[in-house]
């Protein structure tokens, strides 16, 4: 079955810097890769997703890149702000079942 590895587990950046979180997956049939943000006391919320027919997608300060050959995808956050502090999860899906990474706790210091 699918296995998703996420790195790093914790990430601390200064406000205004960029943050990058990386994930690898094992099942070459996976074709949907969402990223979720989980704030304290809340459930995960989708922030961006990418499908396998696209290599890159951007939404304001957030971008995701996908390398299907290498089976890895990354989340890029530019101009980080304190409100970006949260736990971020990547996931991969090949048939409606999402397999999540272990999560990255991002801390943005003012």
Partner 1 sequence: ETGVTQTPRHLVMGMTNKKSLKCEQHLGHNAMYWYKQSAKKPLELMFVYNFKEQTENNSVPSRFSPECPNSSHLFLHLHTLQPEDSALYLCASSLPSGGLHEQFFGPGTRLTVL
Contact residues: partner 1, CB under 8 A = 4, 31-32, 34, 36, 41-46, 49, 51, 89, 93, 95-103
Nearer to partner 1, 2 or 20 (CB): 2
Tokens matching residue 11: 């990430």
* CB 17, min distance to partner 1, A: 26
* CB 108, min distance to partner 1, A: 21
* CB 40, min distance to partner 1, A: 11
* CB 26, min distance to partner 1, A: 14
Cα 72 to Cα 103: distance, rounded to the nearest angstrom: 15
Nearer to partner 1, 20 or 100 (CB): 100
Nearer to partner 1, 27 or 49 (CB): 49
Nearer to partner 1, 23 or 80 (CB): 23
- Which residue from 95, 64, 62, 96 is spatially nearest to 78, judged by alpha carbons? 62
Dihedral (Cα; 84, 76, 48, 21), 10-degree rounding = -80
C-alpha pair distances (Å), 66 with each of 29, 35, 40, 86, 107: 14, 12, 28, 22, 24
């Amino acid at each position: 079955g699918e296995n998703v590895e996420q790195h790093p587990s914790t990430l601390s950046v200064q406000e205004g810097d960029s943050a990058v979180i990386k994930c690898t997956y094992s099942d070459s049939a996976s074709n949907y890769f969402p990223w979720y943000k989980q704030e304290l006391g809340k459930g995960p919320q989708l922030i961006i997703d990418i499908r396998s027919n696209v290599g890159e997608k951007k939404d304001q300060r957030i971008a995701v890149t996908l390398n299907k050959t290498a089976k890895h995808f990354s989340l890029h956050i530019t101009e980080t702000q304190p409100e970006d502090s949260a736990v971020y999860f990547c996931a991969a899906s090949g048939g409606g079942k999402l397999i999540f990474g272990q999560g990255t706790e991002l801390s943005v210091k003012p």
